[in-house]
Amino acid sequence: MGIPYYAVSLNLVNKKCLVVGGGRVAERKVKSLLDCKAEVVVVSPEVTAGLKQLAEDGIINYRAREYTVDDLNGVFIAISATNCQELNRRVAGDCFARNIPINAVDDPEYCSFIVPAIVRRGDLTISISTGGKSPALAKKIRQELEQQYGNEYATLLQYLGRIREQVLEKVPDQEQREKVFRCLVENHLKLLELIESHQEQILEERVNQCLSW
C-alpha cells in the first residue's frame, strides 16, 4: 500500500497558484485551476498556443522565462509540470522548504499532494485517485462516471439545495430531517425524471410526500 492520502477539497478562489511549465500537461493543470477561480501564474520560456491566448486575454499571469525561487512568493499551491524531472524536483524542494503544497507531475515522491481525476457536474464533484499508481485507470473510471452522471445532476443538486433550506427552516427535529433527506435521495432518479420533463406539480407532490414523513 502506498501513501494514505487525505482527500480534501480546497477553496482556491482568488488564491495565487503557480504552474511551472508551458506544455499540454501544464495547460490542463492551468485550466483545472481556472475552473476553481484561482489566480494562476505560469512560468515557462515557452507555452502552448492555448496558454498564450489565456495570457493575452489577461486570464493568467504569464512570466516568459525560467523558474526562480522568487516565483513562489505569495503562492498558495504550486504545480511543476515540465518535461524535466530535475527542474520539477528543484521546484518541489523549494516548496518543501517554504511549506508550500506542491504537485510534481508523475513523481509522487516529490509531491505533497496529488490531483485526482475529476467529474464535475455543477456542485457535484466526484474525484478518482489511484494514489499515483495508475493515472490511466483513474482516467478510465472518470470516463465511465461521466457517462453515468450527466449534466442533469447539476440541476438536481440545485433543486435539492433549495429543498434543504426549506427543510432546515420547517423541520426542527434532526431525526425527522434525516428521514426527509433520505427519502429525497432514495427517490432521486424519479426526481431527475420529473425535473427533466418539467412536471412541476408531480414533483411538488413527491417532495411533499417526503416532507410529511
- The sign of the CA dihedral 120, 124, 127, 128 is negative
CB count within 10 Å of CB 120 equals: 15
DSSP state of 149: S
Architecture label for domain 16-115: 3-Layer(aba) Sandwich (3.40)
Helices (H), the chain: 24-35, 49-56, 85-98, 135-148, 152-170, 174-186, 188-196, 200-211
Q: CA–CA separation, 162 vs 151, rounded Å?
A: 18
- Write out residues in the chain with pLDDT < 50, as ranges: none
Domain topology for 116-149: Double Stranded RNA Binding Domain (3.30.160)
Sign of CA dihedral 104, 109, 112, 115: positive
Beta pairing class for 124-128 and 102-104 = unpaired
**What is the predicted pLDDT for the residue at 48?**
98
Alpha carbon distance 151, 156 (integer Å)? 9
Cell of 139: 482516467
Q: Where are the domains of the chain?
A: 16-115, 116-149, 151-211
39 near 59, Cβ under 8 Å?
A: no
